[in-house]
Amino acid sequence: MNRRVSFTRIGKTGAIGCAGCIAALVLSFSTAPRAAADEDFGLTRAVPDDVFIVWASRFNPERDFLRDYWSEVWDEFLKTGICQDLHELIRSALDEEQAAEMDRVMERFTKLLEGVDWNEIESGQFVYAERFPHPLPTIKGMPIGIPDILLAVRSPKFDASRNFAGLTSILDAIVEEINNAAETELALEKRTENGIHLTSLNLTSGKPETPRIVISIGRSDDTVFLCLGHNMASEVAALLAKTDGAKSIADSPRFKTAFEKLPAAVDEISFFDMHGMLRGMKDIFGGMLDKVAADAATDHAAEGAAESAAEGAAESAAEGAAESAAEGAAEGAAEGGEQSGQWIGMAKTIFERLLESAGILDHVATVSYTAGHAVHTDAVAMLSKNAPDNPLYPVVSANHPVKDFSRFLPKETVSFAVSGGVELDALYKYLEDTIKQTGEPGQQVLAQWAAFQEQSGFDVHRDLIDWIDGESVSGSFKLDGQDAWIFMMKVKNEDTAREKLALALEFLSDTLGELAAQQPMLAMLAIRTEPALDEKLEGFHDVSLGFMPLPAACGVRDGWFMLGSSEQAVLRCLDTAAGKHPNVRKNKRLMSEALVPDQPADAFSYTDHRGTAKQIAQALGGVSVVGGIISMMVEEPEEKQAVMKLFGMLAKLSPVIAKIDFFKSSSTHTTFDGKAWHTKAVTHYFSPEERKPAEEPTP
Identify the pLDDT of residue 660: 95
Looking at the chain, the whole-number percentage of residues with pLDDT higher than 90 is 54
Q: Picking from 383-387, 504-508, 559-563, which range would have the lowest pLDDT averaged per residue?
A: 504-508
φ, ψ of residue 154 in degrees (nearest 5): -140, 135
Q: What is the mean pLDDT of residues 426-437?
A: 94
More confident residue, 142 or 581: 581
Element containing residue 509 per DSSP (H, E): helix 494-518
Question: Residues 324, 309: contact at Cβ < 8 Å?
Answer: yes
Q: What is the pLDDT of residue 481?
A: 92
Closest CA to 685 of 376, 257, 435: 376
Whether the CB-CB separation of 71 and 5 falls below 8 Å is answered with yes
On the question of pLDDT at 647 being above 70, the answer is yes
pLDDT at 577: 96
Three-state secondary structure call for residue 183: coil
Cβ count near 603 (within 10 Å): 21
State pLDDT tens for residues 349-368.
Answer: 999 999 999 999 999 999 99
Whether the pLDDT of residue 331 is over 70: the answer is no
Between residues 412 and 134, the one the model is more confident about? 412
CA distance 24 to 7: 8
In three-state secondary structure terms, 483 is strand
Residue 687 scores a pLDDT above 50? yes
Q: DSSP assignment, residue 525?
A: G
Distance CA 465, CA 453 (A): 14
CB 21 within 8 A of CB 10: yes
Cα distance between residue 475 and residue 563, in whole Å: 11
547-577 pLDDT per residue, tens:
677 899 999 999 999 999 999 999 999 999 9
Confidence class for position 134, pLDDT limits 50, 70, 90: confident
3-class state of residue 542 by DSSP: strand
pLDDT the model gives residue 162: 86
Q: Greater confidence, 644 or 452?
A: 452
pLDDT tens-digit map of 509-546 = 877 777 767 776 666 667 888 999 999 999 999 998 76
3-class state of residue 108 by DSSP: helix
Between residues 448 and 514, the one the model is more confident about: 448
Helix residue ranges per DSSP H, 385-477 = 393-396, 424-436, 440-456, 460-463
Please say if the pLDDT value at position 203 is more than 90.
no
Higher per-residue confidence, 370 vs 10: 370
Confidence of residue 32 (pLDDT cuts 50, 70, 90): very low
Q: How confident is the model at residue 19 (pLDDT cuts 50, 70, 90)?
A: very low
Q: What is the DSSP letter of 283?
A: I
Q: Are 681 and 668 in contact (CB under 8 A)?
A: yes
CA-nearest of 407, 415, 358 to 387 is 358
Q: Which residue pairs, CB below 8 angstroms and at least 24 apart, start in 259-263?
A: 259/365, 259/367, 261/380, 261/678, 262/365, 262/366, 262/367, 262/378, 262/379, 262/380, 263/367, 263/369, 263/378
Under 8 Å between Cβ of 56 and 268: yes
Identify the pLDDT of residue 484.
97
Rounded mean pLDDT of the chain? 84
Look up the pTM and report it.
0.84
